[in-house]
């Protein structure tokens, strides 16, 4: 199994959040990849890049996205089959983003969003969570969630353990 990370607008493929979560994923037995979108400003062009990458992926995978990368992961999941989505302050319902409606059928989705986020309104994650009934963790933190990485890490560990268990049960039935 693999974890595929998508970073945010002003971040990079191996920023501190991704590096921290990648270590957790690797320790749990996942292969790790993180796409580099720094040369692509448009979120929907980033979706195309991720879709092209996923078209060649042969093993089961989880998508993890932060901010704009959360949008990219969620939109790509609508035409692909990830085992789950772990979204950090996802840039949903943002003006000038092509996709404004999101289908979440068949996906295990967890969202982490900081109450003090001044970049992506927390109400956007609440709206999505309400519409989809996905797991939504509203925590003390800002957009970057740096001050809450211990809590984010614990939630991520639980998420990937759940995904692994669910995948093994599906194979064994």
Q: Residue 77 pLDDT more than 80? A: yes
Tell me: pLDDT of 104 over 90: no
Question: What pLDDT is attached to residue 103?
Answer: 78
Q: Are 143 and 15 in contact (CB under 8 A)?
A: no
Give the tens place of pLDDT for each residue, 12-45. 999 999 999 999 999 999 999 999 999 999 999 9
Return the pLDDT at 168: 82
pTM, 2 dp: 0.95
Which of 41, 128, 37 is closest to 87 using CA atoms?
128
**Continuous segment of H or E residues that includes residue 64:** strand 61-66
Distance CA 88, CA 69 (A): 9
Measured between alpha carbons, how far is 10 from 16 in angstroms, rounded to an integer?
13
**88 pLDDT exceeds 80?**
yes
Length of the chain: 173
Contact 162, 135 (CB under 8 A): no
Can you tell me whether residue 145 is helix, strand or coil? Answer: coil
Two tokens, residue 120: 């992506």
- What DSSP state is assigned to residue 144? S
Please determine, for residue 105, whether its predicted confidence score (pLDDT) is greater than 90.
Answer: no
**Could you read off the pLDDT of 144-172 as tens digits, one per residue?**
999 999 999 999 999 999 999 988 877 77
Nearest Cα neighbor of 86 from 38, 40, 28 is 28
> What's the pLDDT band for 106 if we cut at 50, 70, 90?
low
- Bridge-based pairing of strands 31-35 and 61-66 is unpaired
Question: Helix (H, G, I), strand (E, B), or coil: what is residue 99?
Answer: coil
- At 26 the three-state DSSP class reads helix
**Alpha carbon distance 34, 173 (integer Å):** 32
pLDDT of residue 158: 97
Q: Could you tell me the domains of the chain?
A: 2-172 (3.40.50.1820)
């Amino acid at each position: 199994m693999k974890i595929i990370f998508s970073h945010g607008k002003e971040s990079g493929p191996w920023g501190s959040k991704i590096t921290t979560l990648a270590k957790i994923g690797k320790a749990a037995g996942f292969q790790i990849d993180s796409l580099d979108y720094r040369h692509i400003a448009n979120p929907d062009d980033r979706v195309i890049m991720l879709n092209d990458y996923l078209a060649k992926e042969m093993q089961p995978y989880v998508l993890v996205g932060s901010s704009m990368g959360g949008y990219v992961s969620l939109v790509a999941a609508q035409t692909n089959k990830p085992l789950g989505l772990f979204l950090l302050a996802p840039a949903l319902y943002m003006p000038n983003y092509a996709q404004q409606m999101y289908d979440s059928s068949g996906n295990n989705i967890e969202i982490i969003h900081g109450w003090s986020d001044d970049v992506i309104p927390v109400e956007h994650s609440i709206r999505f969570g309400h519409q989809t009934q996905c797991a939504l963790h509203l925590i003390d933190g800002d957009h970057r969630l740096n001050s809450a990485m211990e809590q984010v890490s614990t939630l991520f560990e639980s998420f990937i353990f759940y995904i692994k268990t669910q995948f093994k049960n599906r194979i064994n039935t």
